[in-house]
Amino acid sequence: MTGLAQRLSPPGSVPYPGNHLGLRWRPLISRDAPAVYDLVRAVESADDAIHRTGAEGIADMVEGRGGADWVDAIVGLDRNSSISAVGCVRVVRGASDSAIAIVSAYVHPHWRGRGLGRALLHWQDGRAREMLVETYGPDSTIPASIANFVDAHMTDRRRLYIAAGFYAKRTLQVMYRDLEGSESAPRVRGGYTVVPWDSALRDQVRELHMEVSRDLFWSWNRARWW
């Protein structure tokens, strides 16, 4: 396999989204954390996002290179210097068998439809390539990927990533259960038996979890979310 630099072709420099799109961009700094948290909550609420970012996620952005992962984040400011967009790139340090960069962005609904998402993704893609090569070395033969999680109902975001050359590698189904107990259990087929969790053989269940999660995107983290 060829070296990482040859495969990723990191750019010499990656420009921020242009000011002509309406926002002025700069690196995220620690005092931005409250405003970024409010923006992320507003965006995820407007998008009806399945996964919601907590305070620890914002703290990771602030930590930058000094946290568990290396996170590079930038913020977009409007004419009143209010933070209206955030873009970040995270290089996962816990993955030993692959080089992984995760990109994520939050753009206030008021600023959508102006080309910001496309320009921000261009910066993220180039920056991710730079960070991966810097982390693992230009001659590393480790497999590499740049990825993100996108909810199925976010059609515009999916189209944005597809237009930029990304594709869906894994699809996960989220299931819900009514906790009040009014749902009737379906009939089990195929010779299987459903037993209470307390009666399950946990070691075997954990082993199964580790096995079926091996090919998932965050397989390096499967022991932590068991």
Instruction: State residue 61's pLDDT score.
Output: 92
The rounded distance, in Å, linking the Cα atoms of 220 and 100 is 10
HSE at residue 50, side-chain half, CA atoms within 13 A, is 11
Instruction: State residue 178's pLDDT score.
Output: 76
- Average pLDDT across the chain, whole number: 89
Which of 74, 82, 78 lies closest to 104, judged by CA?
74
Task: Decide if pLDDT at 198 tops 80.
Answer: no
Per-residue model confidence as pLDDT tens digits over 75-126: 999 999 999 999 999 999 877 788 999 999 999 999 999 999 999 999 999 9
User: Any idea which fold 4-163 has?
Assistant: Aminopeptidase (3.40.630)
Residue 86 corresponds to which amino acid?
A: V
The rounded distance, in Å, linking the Cα atoms of 171 and 103 is 17
**How many CB atoms within 10 Å of residue 97?**
9
Q: What percent of the chain stands above pLDDT 90? A: 60
Assigned token pair, 140: 């590393």
Residue bearing the bigger pLDDT, 81 or 68:
81
Residue 197 corresponds to which amino acid?
A: W
Characterize the bridge pairing of strands 70-77 and 144-147. unpaired
Contact (CB, 8 A) for 102 and 90? yes
Band (223; pLDDT cuts 50, 70, 90):
low
- In terms of pTM, does the model score above 0.85? no
Query: How is the chain split into domains, by residue range?
Result: 4-163
Residues whose CB falls within 8 Å of the CB of residue 190, separated by 6 or more in sequence, listed in order: none
Give the lowest-confidence range in 29-43, 49-63, 176-190. 176-190
Band (220; pLDDT cuts 50, 70, 90):
low
Residue in this structure with the two tokens 């580790």, named with its chain if needed? 210
Task: Decide if pLDDT at 216 tops 70.
Answer: no
